């Protein structure tokens, strides 16, 4: 065989091999899943909420993959436990970004953790959607972090409206000593002042407190005709029970924590007479769903787990996960952080359980509305001032 012939055959093989390799690369690329990282408290005091968020994300993941994933690419999730600590959240975020190279991150409900992670993802240009409601994050210069929940001021203005309608004159305020509570104080003070009521008592208590006897006694000593509580984690039902155990029978006002089913489940009759405002209504049956997205979520959750979520944070997680999926689907390049972020700030009219999300202002916020509710007869109902007042007149 001549040298020319050998060279021709070798060249043909090289071209064929190169084409095959290129095709394989394209196939591998197309098969590479999109990874969404998640940091959650799966142990520690936040484990109860974290467990429900994890279950919720699994539901949303199954639904998203059933709909074709991200333009044909499967979505997978990687979850790390924060142990309900900020340090844990930071380590989780570092692993997700540096080691796992995720395309987006879904955060937990603790604003302190969201704030710490927001600082990290900013320099690494990874989309981060957190569930915390405090105004401490994201800051104006942070372009990659977004809130998948209503800002704290929404529920606060909501329950202050209830205070005004009820006609309370003397308000006692009990706040948890965490980022969540500390951040809300200014807004609560201003909003309560707008109602015309006088704040006769206001104090922080240590986070994760179980014994509230002394602080409640102090508050009740001022004879308030309305009590505002701003608790977190496992505190809400304990605080409500202990307030009632000390003989207070008046109205209690609170934020979205009032929607958590534990308040009724653990508090029982003590939970009656609470007014709160929330973006979500935690339904106790699928039939109680207020819209189609909630119904679809709860139906799938019940089919898979045989129970319904009892935490409002689970609902936040569902909407937030779907928002991330929406951004990944519409991004020019879902593997590039800037592209995913650009797609996120184009989300304009996304229908979630909480209502319509719009992130085009690019200020990190996408949800402005909350709904007023009340608990009477151990059931969450739409707030009705006539019925609420009538309960206390009995």
Partner 1 sequence: MLLKFIIGALMIGGVYGVLGMGYCLIYKSTGLMNLAQGEFMTFGAYVGVTFYRYIGLPFPIAIICTFVVMFIIGYSLQRFIIIKLIKKGSTFAYVILCTAAASMILQNGAMLIWGPTIIAFPQIFSVRSINLGVMAVAPEHLMVLGIALVCCVGLYIFLNKTKFGTAIRAAAMDEDAAYSVGIDVQNTRGTAWGLAAGLAGVIGASVGPIYGVFTTLGATIGQKAFAGAVAGGYGNVFGAVVGGMLCGFLETFVQGYINAQYKDVFVFAALILLLAFIPNGIFKEKVIE
Q: Which is nearer to partner 1, 43 or 90 (CB)?
A: 43
How far apart are CB 381 and partner 1 at their closest, in Å? 21
How far apart are CB 328 and partner 1 at their closest, in Å? 30
Stretch near partner 1 under the rule CB under 8 A, chosen from 102-110, 119-127, 214-222, 251-259: 214-222
Q: Which is nearer to partner 1, 2 or 285 (CB)?
A: 285
Q: Which is nearer to partner 1, 245 or 381 (CB)?
A: 245
| Radius of gyration in angstroms for the set of CA atoms belonging to the chain, rounded to a whole number | 25
Q: Is residue 178 at the binding interface for partner 1, with CB under 8 A as the rule?
A: no
292 is written with which tokens? 């189609």
Stretch near partner 1 under the rule CB under 8 A, chosen from 20-28, 88-96, 239-247, 368-376: 239-247
- Write out the binding residues for partner 1, residues 115-154 only, by CB under 8 A: none
Q: Which is nearer to partner 1, 45 or 142 (CB)?
A: 45
Peptide bond before residue 189 is cis, with ω within 30 degrees of 0: no
The binder of partner 1 chosen from 45, 124, 299, 378 (CB under 8 A):
45
How far apart are CB 276 and partner 1 at their closest, in Å? 18
Interhelix angle for 385-393 vs 153-166, to 10°?
60
The binder of partner 1 chosen from 24, 223, 245, 369 (CB under 8 A):
245
Q: Which is nearer to partner 1, 87 or 101 (CB)?
A: 87
| Cα separation, 69 vs 329, whole angstroms | 8
The binder of partner 1 chosen from 39, 137, 205, 357 (CB under 8 A):
205
DSSP-derived letter for residue 98 is: I
Q: Is residue 250 at the binding interface for partner 1, with CB under 8 A as the rule?
A: no
91 is written with which tokens? 């380590």
The binder of partner 1 chosen from 67, 100, 198, 203 (CB under 8 A):
203
Q: Is residue 200 at the binding interface for partner 1, with CB under 8 A as the rule?
A: no
- Write out the binding residues for partner 1, residues 277-316 only, by CB under 8 A: 310
Q: Which is nearer to partner 1, 58 or 208 (CB)?
A: 208
Q: Which is nearer to partner 1, 37 or 181 (CB)?
A: 181
- Total H helices, total E strands in the chain: 13, 14
Q: Which is nearer to partner 1, 52 or 370 (CB)?
A: 52
Interhelix angle for 312-330 vs 292-305, to 10°?
110
Cα-flanking dihedrals φ and ψ of residue 314, to 5°? -65, -40
Residues 215, 221, 222, 224, CA torsion sign: positive
Cα–Cα distance list, 234 to 38, 87, 184, 240, 316 (Å): 22, 21, 18, 11, 18
Angle at 391 between CA 385 and CA 392, to 5 degrees: 100
The C-alpha torsion from 243 through 246 and 249 to 253, rounded to 10°, is -20
DSSP-derived letter for residue 225 is: S
| Binding track, positions 251-270, relative to partner 1; x by CB under 8 A | -----------x--xxxx--
Q: Which of 163, 187, 193 is nearest to 175 (CA)?
A: 187
Cα-flanking dihedrals φ and ψ of residue 28, to 5°? -60, -45
Q: Is residue 43 at the binding interface for partner 1, with CB under 8 A as the rule?
A: yes
Estimate to the nearest angstrom the gap between the alpha carbon of 85 and the chain centroid. Answer: 17
Q: Which is nearer to partner 1, 86 or 378 (CB)?
A: 378
Q: Is residue 189 at the binding interface for partner 1, with CB under 8 A as the rule?
A: no
| Cα separation, 259 vs 50, whole angstroms | 17
Residues that bind partner 1 (CB under 8 A): 43-45, 47-48, 50-51, 177, 203-206, 208-211, 213-215, 217-218, 221, 234, 237-238, 241-242, 244-247, 262, 265-268, 310
């Amino acid at each position: 065989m001549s040298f020319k012939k050998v060279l021709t055959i070798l060249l043909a093989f090289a071209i064929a091999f190169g084409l095959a390799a290129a095709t394989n690369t394209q196939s591998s690329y197309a098969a590479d899943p999109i990874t969404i990282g998640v940091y959650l408290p799966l142990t520690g005091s936040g484990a109860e909420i974290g467990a429900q968020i994890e279950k919720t994300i699994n539901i949303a993941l199954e639904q998203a993959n059933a709909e074709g994933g991200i333009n044909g690419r499967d979505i997978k999730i990687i979850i790390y436990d924060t142990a309900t600590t900020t340090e844990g959240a930071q380590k989780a975020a570092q692993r997700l970004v540096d080691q796992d190279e995720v395309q987006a991150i879904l955060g937990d409900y603790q604003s302190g953790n969201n704030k710490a992670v927001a600082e990290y993802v900013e320099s690494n240009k990874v989309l981060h959607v957190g569930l915390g409601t405090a105004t401490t994050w994201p800051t104006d210069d942070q372009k990659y972090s977004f809130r998948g929940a209503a800002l704290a001021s929404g529920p606060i203005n909501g329950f202050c409206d209830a205070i005004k309608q009820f006609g309370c004159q003397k308000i006692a305020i009990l706040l948890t000593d965490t980022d969540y509570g500390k951040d809300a104080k200014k807004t609560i003070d201003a909003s309560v002042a707008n109602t015309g009521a006088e704040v006769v008592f206001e104090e922080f208590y240590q986070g994760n407190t179980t014994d509230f006897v002394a602080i409640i006694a102090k508050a009740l000593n001022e004879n308030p005709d309305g009590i505002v509580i701003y608790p977190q984690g496992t505190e809400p039902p304990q605080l409500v029970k202990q307030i009632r155990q000390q003989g207070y029978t008046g109205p209690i006002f609170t934020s979205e924590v009032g929607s958590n089913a534990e308040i009724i489940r653990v508090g029982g009759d003590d939970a009656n007479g609470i007014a709160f405002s929330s973006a979500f209504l935690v339904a106790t049956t699928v039939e109680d769903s207020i819209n189609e997205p909630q119904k679809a979520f709860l139906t799938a959750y019940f089919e898979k787990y045989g129970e319904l979520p009892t935490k409002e944070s689970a609902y936040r997680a569902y909407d937030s996960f779907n928002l991330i999926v929406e951004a990944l689907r519409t991004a020019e390049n879902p593997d590039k952080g800037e592209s995913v972020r650009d797609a996120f700030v184009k989300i304009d009219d996304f229908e979630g359980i909480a209502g319509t999300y719009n992130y085009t202002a690019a200020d990190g916020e996408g949800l402005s509305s909350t709904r007023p509710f009340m608990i009477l007869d151990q059931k969450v109902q739409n707030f009705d001032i006539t019925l609420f007042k009538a309960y206390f007149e009995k």
